[in-house]
Structure 1
Amino acid sequence: MTISSSGAAPAAGLLSGTGRSILAGGILGFDMVGRAIAMAALLFSGALASGLVSAVVLMLGSSAAVIALSLLARGDEAAGVGAAQQGPLAALLPVFGLLSQNGAGLAPGAGAATAFVLLGVLSLATGLVLVVLALGNLGRFVRFLPYPVSSGFVAATGALLCASAVRMAWPAPGAAGELAYVPLGLTIATGLLALLGQRIAQEAGVMVALVAAVVIFHLGAGAIGLSDPLLHLPGLLPELPEPSLAIRPALPHLQLGAVDWSLILHSLPLVGAGVLIAVLGHYLNLNAIEMAGEADLDDRRATVLTGMANLGIGGLGGIPAYPSSSTTLSARMMGAGHPAFPLALLVMLGLAMALAGDVLAIVPGFVSGGLLLFIGGRVAWQWLVRPIGSLPWHEWLLSALIVAISLVFGILPAVAFGCLAASVLFVVSYGQLPVVRRAGSLAGFRSGVDRAASEAALLDAEAARVTVLQVEGFLFFGTADQLARRMRLALAPVDQGPEAGARTRFLVLDCRRLTGVDAAAVATLERQARRARSQGHLILLAGAPRALTEAVSRRGFDDPGKKAGLAVMPDLERALERVEDLILAGQSAPASDALSTLRSFTASEVEARALQARLQIRDLEPGAVLIRAGERSSEIFLLDQGRLGIYVSRPDGGRLRLRLIGAGSIVGEMALYLGLPRTADVIAEGPARVLVMTEAALADLAQDAPAELAAWHAVMAGALADKLSRTTRAFADFS
């Protein structure tokens, strides 16, 4: 594992790349040691002090495990530096507070055993969730959580760490005098000193600040004498229960029989909150690393490795660990691009694990508290304070509320509020998306039935009485009202214009892009259907998903046999065809046949009948093929009775119907006039009769009746112009 320096300028100096990497590993390793000591001192105090050294060892081991696994796996260098994280532990602070005061009434040693098991359960659960998310490619759903909620959770962990650091140094009940607040003052001063060091020289500055605090303390202690009462205030001198622990750190002998399993069971909700914080922290850190490095991350691979590391860590009672964006970016700034960097990190962590007791013996409590204050403050600053100018005020306020709730009521109520807020944000945001993709009338939406010119003219005149709404997305209670408003508006009378007072008679809902519905959406459609029935409208659901059609059928508000209410149609084509048929039936349209078409495009009845006399009559049985795709023919057909279907062949050998041709329509004129082969099959849908203009008949017209030939060409030109005009209007309405 090496660290790419893309996105940041590596530290310059006299050291080579190897030297800079080793120095960076030492500095950042020291930083991890300080964080482990600070967190262990917070968790393992009072009745849990016997596990303090072991806790430091396990926390350092957690960082070493995730680093070593990444190194052995030879992962993507952009994946960053893993480290044990304090954030998830903030969720368990109430339990550790109870154990440290022996509030559970446990036997000596049982509290520490229970604490380590609790940490192990947290790490195991975190590892399992991360592996499942990665293998199932479910990480994208975690990222669906609104940013204000995610940042609020992370900022809350920082605020809880700050509060815990202050609580560690706060005078005990009954303490009096000005000296009682000395540990608190030193804790705050150390935190500010660490902040100053970080501003001057990043993580190296923090290291220098902490070392300086320890050295100054011991010099002062030596000057005034160890017997001075000031040095025995809580939070100053390290509190180790046994001197041997400062010399020979070892994992406590965990007697599983001494573990308070009922307390573990009752703590599972807090463990769940910790897992949530860990998962969010993992993905937020990966995002930060990816953005700073200006390179794509294989987040699935990084998540699997992190999950496996946590599964191993959890078996030993370690704490959750995952990539740290701050450590990674610091390493890049220090020019840690050589493979020696992770090795230097591991060496530093290994030395600290071996000497954990000795290190703890010289680190005052206020230094641990100050570092904890610095860590928590930096997290709260990054995720709560710094986004003030970049987030909308209401989003930032949501993050602040999550932090406030966590401080006042605890992390579980904060998590519950955050999840509720995320749900509300999702509903509000999704509900504002337009549910109607496109709206139009019969002028732009037509069925595939090719009708006679007289029928097409009637449909054009009634086009405004039909409204088509193309619905998309998931229809639920947040969007159902939006659709209901559009439906009511479509069915309302026109207020002004030449069609003032006119009403939409038919409302077609094109639901093929609808992904699903909930019960509230179905109830909304039911109300609109009953309203439409009472007012004489017809709503047609076209291509609706199966869940919607089954719900409509169960509730029984579809009315396929009547002309008002709601009807379910298999697709938009059949819905439009039914609407057109109802319009034509209601207008008492004259019967369409070949002669009516000829009348539409000729100057007189005489011309129309003269042309009809030139045509041959051909009767077709149902399923008879009138035209075959690919063949050449010099015949033009006028459908006199029945219907014809235009089909193309599918790859599987079946046929797909493109259009349906009604009586009075003309077929085959394009191929004849362009001299091209037929492009589709034309098949009789039932008993049909066509009138045929043959090549011989055209030759006779050219020789014997040029006026009739001109009239025939006028008919063809009129029919083509009509088709082109309707197609143009459809495209104009679509745009």
Structure 2
Amino acid sequence: MNHAPEPISFELPAKKISTQRASRPIVGAAAALSISIPHAIGVGLLAFAPLATLGSFSFLALWSAAVPGALLTLLARSKGVVYGPSTAVALLFGGMLALVIDAGAAASITAAQALAITGVFAALGFVLQSLIAWSGLARMARFIPVAVTQGFAAGVGLSLILAQIKGLYFISGAHWGALLGWHVGIAMAVVALSHVLQRLWPRFPTLLIAVTLVALPWLFWAPGVELRMAAEQAVFMLPVVPDWWAAPWWLVIDRVGFQLASLALLMAVVNSLEVLVYHQHLEVEHGQRTAHGPVLGREGWVGVGCALVGMIPASTSLSRSLTALFYTGKPSLRAGQWHALAMIAVAVSGYLWLPWVPMAVLMGALLITGVRMIPPPLWGLFQTREGRGGRLQAWVVALVFVGSSGALALLAGLLVATLDLLRASGEHAIRRIHLEGKLRSRHVRGPQDEGWLAPRMATVAVFELQGIVSFGVAAQVVEQVRSHLNGHRCVILDASRAPSWDETGCLHLIALAHELQKQNVALLLCGVHGLAAQRMARLHTYIDLDHALEWAEDQILASRPAAAAQADSAQADSVQADSVQADSVQAAALGELSDGLDPAQQAALRALMNSQRYAPGAVIIRQGERERTLLWVAAGTVTLSTSEVPEQGLRLSVIGAGAVFGEMAFLNGIARTAYAHAGAHGAVLSSLSWERFQQWSRDDPEGALLFITALARMGIRRLGGISQELRAAME
């Protein structure tokens, strides 16, 4: 009775997880809050700064930091994500607002009208983000190199650092003096205190504690310096309701419509990239795989609604989410929810306490945030050689991000990654180089031909290609071919492992062929199919390496002096000339199989053989036939293949004049293992049946033994060639 085998379970050993960070979501929310508050005030005030001439606007920064993020927390519900307006979106929103106010100045545009027009174009950007999600372009994020994503995160962090340095100088009156010293000192006090507290209590959000401890003294003791505070004293105000009906739409669109649409497109690209970068981080570091399309779609449509009501749209916040994860240790929904509730409380109560908080305190918090956003591996750029190229690429992306924008940083990163990929692909595009002439075709030739070919095959260089041959890869292949040629008269490029070529790669190869032709060096290309074969039809192309090597061998044999080739030319002429006598054909057919036989034994052996001429392409033997007959090629060639139609199967071997085939069936009586066809010029064969050989062996056992010895010697030589070919393929 058969029993089903018991299922086998494979359990990997559990890895130790550091418990240094607290797992309570409220701790991560508090840490993210220490960034959101200064970020909301700093970036929000910059975004709404164009409204300064139209009335108070500080309350708009708080509401934009709280409400859109809270809506996304309710509707998107992604683990490990904290929502809020990103720096790029806020600054682009502010750029749109400035353009709208400037263009509508002639129509005495109001704040509500400006927010209406700006909100529509910001909503257009998030509609484009949703289209990116709907079209499936978000799936392209998996092709973004890690160096680009790390560089993007570092670019955001460096931008925060640079913005705070500029901000400290700006709030100090844009000049050096005691006021600047106070602001810098307060910011550095936040940084230093946060660092010290972090070392003492690594389980708590020390940045928020440091901000509070530095800001509290200013409530009770103020020096004789007028510091810039986070907000002006104001009363509680609700967000402004945009005025869509009275806004000067056509005036603004006519003047700056194209610029607004361009900023909307840039907003969609940059924000989508930032979202995808963070979710890629979640997948790599925490194993949380998320469908990028639905994430972008949900955030896009919520962003559309927020923009239409005059708020800065929120999305996945890279800085706040990473900070929360720094403390929670694993993705959690609760951290984002606590953060959203706290930001609503800040927006409601901010008018009471923000006027008492120095702006330098918040800038110090953002300085720490910027430093933490730079991935730790990037700090080891000059410490270790391993992965230095990737880190250098990341820093290039980061610096471009700081100097321009996220979109240009993405382009720079993809350009650097592409160049690095081309360089690496070019270095490994040549799988193996054969310069010693050890590679040979499957054309089995007579001993005289082999003796002539062996020392001269070193003039044939074979380069095995692999991978996609693109424009940059082809250029490096050409350079490597040039550098390795040393007296070679024939170059064979085996592209059977190159799945595709681009048009520029084909042109590089055609140019190389012309260059080598001027140097009297032949270039052969094999293993190319499809469109690439059509583009390079002017080159000497062959179906595989075996055919190319056979052509090179034929050219070497054709270059023999007339005296050396006299014996073999007589055999070749016998295929086409009817006047050749059968005796001479049979005598030539014996070749080295007659070694050691005296004339009488040779005559007896010839008497046992039958001779037959085959037309070009004629079938000589069929796979599966059972016939114990040994065949010699007296003249011409015979092709052994796996198919009855040689072009449809694999060419196993080409048997030349003086060589033998069919010995396995002759000696063992097994069925034929391949098809045999006459070559392009036909063939003349001599055959010996097993029955006649048995009769001869009884009459002359000594001669039969010498014959079997010669046959074994030929088989061993052929097996040696096959072994060498297999060894080259395995290597």
Calculate the TM-score normalised by the size of structure 1. Answer: 0.77
Equivalence for 1:41: 45
Equivalence for 1:236: 229
Distance in 1 (CA, whole Å) between partners of 2:536 and 2:393 is 39
CA contact (8 A) 1:148 1:395 kept: no
Equivalence for 1:500: none
Q: How does 1:586-735 map to 2 (within 5 A)?
A: 586-587=559-560, 589=565, 590-591=568-569, 592=571, 595-596=587-588, 598-601=590-593, 602-603=595-596, 606=599, 607-620=601-614, 624-648=618-642, 655-685=649-679, 687-731=682-726, 735=731
CA contact (8 A) 2:461 2:491 kept: yes
CA displacement, residues 180-231 of structure 1 (integer Å, 9 cap, x when unaligned): 865565455445555555554466222333344554444447xx9xxxx966
The amino acid across from 1:529 in the alignment is A
Tell me whether 1:356 sits opposite 2:347 in the alignment.
Answer: yes
Q: How does 1:519-558 map to 2 (within 5 A)?
A: 521-522=505-506, 524-544=508-528, 546-553=530-537, 558=538
CA contact (8 A) 1:454 1:597 kept: no
The amino acid across from 1:467 in the alignment is A
Distance 1:355 1:220, change over 3 A: same
Q: How does 1:261-410 map to 2 (within 5 A)?
A: 261=253, 262-263=255-256, 265-266=258-259, 277-293=270-286, 296-299=287-290, 301-302=291-292, 304-317=294-307, 318-319=312-313, 321-322=315-316, 324=318, 327=321, 330-331=324-325, 333-334=327-328, 342-343=333-334, 345-346=336-337, 348-350=339-341, 352-353=343-344, 356-363=347-354, 364=357, 366=359, 367-379=361-373, 385=379, 387=381, 389-390=383-384, 410=404
Structure 2 gaps of 5+ residues are: 1-13, 572-584
SS in 2 for 1:693: strand
Q: Work out which of the residue numbers 47, 52, 56 in structure 1 matches 2:62.
A: 56
Distance 1:188 1:171, change over 3 A: farther
Equivalence for 1:563: none
Offset of 1:443 from its aligned partner? 4.5
Equivalence for 2:95: 95
SS in 2 for 1:638: strand
Offset of 1:631 from its aligned partner? 3.8
Distance in 1 (CA, whole Å) between partners of 2:104 and 2:126 is 23
SS in 1 for 2:713: helix
Structure 1 gaps of 5+ residues are: 494-503, 559-565
The amino acid across from 2:88 in the alignment is P
Tell me whether 1:582 sits opposite 2:542 in the alignment.
Answer: no
Q: Work out which of the residue numbers 440, 453, 457 in structure 2 matches 1:463.
A: 457
Q: Work out which of the residue numbers 168, 171, 174 in structure 2 matches 1:169.
A: 171
Distance in 2 (CA, whole Å) between partners of 1:327 and 1:610 is 94
CA displacement, residues 440-476 of structure 1 (integer Å, 9 cap, x when unaligned): 2584433333333433333323211221111234445
Distance in 2 (CA, whole Å) between partners of 1:31 and 1:640 is 90
The amino acid across from 1:730 in the alignment is E
Distance 1:257 1:87, change over 3 A: same
Between 701-710 and 582-591, report the one with greater CA deviation.
Answer: 582-591
Equivalence for 1:497: none
CA contact (8 A) 2:431 2:466 kept: yes
Distance 1:123 1:185, change over 3 A: farther
Distance in 2 (CA, whole Å) between partners of 1:142 and 1:90 is 25
Distance 1:165 1:645, change over 3 A: same
Distance in 1 (CA, whole Å) between partners of 2:367 and 2:114 is 26
SS in 1 for 2:558: helix
Between 668-677 and 91-100, report the one with greater CA deviation.
Answer: 91-100
Distance in 2 (CA, whole Å) between partners of 1:254 and 1:55 is 21
SS in 2 for 1:509: strand
Distance 1:381 1:676, change over 3 A: closer
Offset of 1:730 from its aligned partner? 3.3
Distance in 1 (CA, whole Å) between partners of 2:543 and 2:648 is 20
Question: Identity over the aligned pairs, expressed in percent?
Answer: 19
SS in 2 for 1:568: strand
Distance 1:81 1:93, change over 3 A: closer
Offset of 1:149 from its aligned partner? 5.1
Between 100-109 and 672-681, report the one with greater CA deviation.
Answer: 100-109
Offset of 1:713 from its aligned partner? 0.5
Equivalence for 1:498: none
Alignment: residue pair count: 677
Equivalence for 2:582: none
CA contact (8 A) 2:542 2:548 kept: yes
Between 150-159 and 87-96, report the one with greater CA deviation.
Answer: 87-96
The amino acid across from 1:206 in the alignment is L
Distance 1:255 1:419, change over 3 A: farther
Distance 1:680 1:333, change over 3 A: same
Distance 1:116 1:160, change over 3 A: farther
Distance 1:23 1:549, change over 3 A: closer
The amino acid across from 2:553 in the alignment is E
SS in 2 for 1:719: helix
Offset of 1:693 from its aligned partner? 1.6
CA displacement, residues 570-604 of structure 1 (integer Å, 9 cap, x when unaligned): 43333222222222222254145764452323125
Offset of 1:411 from its aligned partner? 3.6
Distance 1:537 1:258, change over 3 A: same
Equivalence for 1:499: none
Equivalence for 2:5: none
Distance in 1 (CA, whole Å) between partners of 2:451 and 2:75 is 75
Distance 1:467 1:154, change over 3 A: same
Offset of 1:534 from its aligned partner? 3.3
Distance in 1 (CA, whole Å) between partners of 2:652 and 2:216 is 87
Distance in 2 (CA, whole Å) between partners of 1:486 and 1:27 is 55
Offset of 1:622 from its aligned partner? 5.6
CA contact (8 A) 1:451 1:664 kept: yes
CA contact (8 A) 1:84 1:322 kept: yes
Distance 1:597 1:419, change over 3 A: same
Q: Work out which of the residue numbers 421, 429, 432 in structure 1 matches 2:423.
A: 429
Offset of 1:65 from its aligned partner? 4.7
CA contact (8 A) 2:617 2:678 kept: yes
SS in 1 for 2:427: coil
Offset of 1:618 from its aligned partner? 4.0
CA contact (8 A) 2:609 2:686 kept: yes
CA contact (8 A) 1:542 1:568 kept: yes
Offset of 1:130 from its aligned partner? 5.4
CA displacement, residues 253-280 of structure 1 (integer Å, 9 cap, x when unaligned): 5569446445463256666665555455
Distance in 1 (CA, whole Å) between partners of 2:678 and 2:421 is 51
Equivalence for 1:209: 210
Equivalence for 2:581: none
The amino acid across from 2:110 in the alignment is P
Calculate the TM-score normalised by the size of structure 2. Answer: 0.77
Q: How does 1:123-202 map to 2 (within 5 A)?
A: 123-129=126-132, 132=135, 137-143=139-145, 150=152, 153-163=155-165, 165-166=167-168, 169-171=171-173, 178=178, 182=182, 185-187=185-187, 189-190=189-190, 192-194=192-194, 200-201=201-202
Distance in 2 (CA, whole Å) between partners of 1:255 and 1:663 is 96
Distance 1:454 1:473, change over 3 A: same
Distance 1:727 1:96, change over 3 A: same
